[in-house]
Structure 1
Amino acid sequence: LDTLVSRHFEGPRLLGVKGTATCWQFCHYEDLISALVLIATSDATGRPGRQRGSQQDTGPGRAVFAVGAPGHLTREQVEKLSGKRHVDLPAAVAFGTAERLHRIGVTPASAVELQYLVYPWVVEPRRLLGLGWRPRYDNEAALRALLAETAGRFSLAGHRVGARDAAAGAAIGATVALVGTAALVRRARRRRRG
């Protein structure tokens, strides 16, 4: 699957925002399919105490179910399992840069989409579990499957690139980071002087 999350794990580092404690929750596509089949073939509405077709059921398309492996992984667990480290940026830098790069067509993901990676939702699939649904993949197994699926793929700034392009892009990224750091150091020195 080609998603914002899969491309995030194809990158050389995992993006983080300073001051946040990212919780990662995964849902393997096989588990999503089994949840959808269960919902479609049961009388459940997704609302406690209401059955499809009852007077309390206010119409089709109103059922809401949370789907995901129960629990979550911490940032440290994800780093250990993936072998990738995080790079933390101030929120203003991360989201401002993402928005500017998206606006000029460099990245497919906007700052709004980036927020789902930085501040992900963690849901509890209580209603599905109550119907007897059991995911085959816990969060760790789903992450391992994602990593196996994305092995050998490289993404920079949300774009999938070849290994040679990734190496060149990493070199460019390192250069940009170095130039940016030098500019910040110069600015700090000027402020101290006067």
Structure 2
Amino acid sequence: MFITIICFHYAKAQNDINLTDILENVESQSQIDSLKFLYPNLSIKKHSLSTGDKNINKKVFLLEEKEINADSIDAIKLLSQKDIKEFKVKYIFINGKNLNEKEIKKIQKKAYKELKKGKTFSEVANKYSMDPGSKDGDLGWFPEGRMIERFENAIREHKKDEIFQVSDQSRKWHFIILKNHDEREAKIYEYITITKS
């Protein structure tokens, strides 16, 4: 998929505030925070969007034509775009906050045993994962920098179809991970939107 966002900012005509002028020099989070303070009647939000996002076609703004797909957005400015890698894995999350080390090891051992017996990773994830939002353990595509560093580094170090473990002792998080896809190249766009409250 090839997406290009053509111009840097656009604002609909406003009667009392020139939103284009407001956005002109905004580039950092501190400037966004200042705008929020100066204009409490405006909803000012920073977003990021990856070319791997399944909703990208709904979110791409035809800025050159001065059309915005969402009528509620009064102004938008592209802050940055950069090349990144995206990852896709399945995982089993074991929350160690309420378990001792012995209980964690027991769950890990049971999960590995079932995988060796031929159960699918999805079946085992549905049985053992403590992430209530997990669907078959599928994390979907996510851009680098979204997950904890140890998690992403482990994914980079392993090959497709390998199963491995990652633990973050400070958070007491434990993962069994299946790398089910190779990394892919993507772009990530950061942009700011303004809507009148």
TM-score range, shorter chain: under 0.3
Q: Which has the higher helix share?
A: 1
TM-score, with normalisation over the residues of structure 1?
Answer: 0.24
Q: Which has the higher strand share?
A: 2
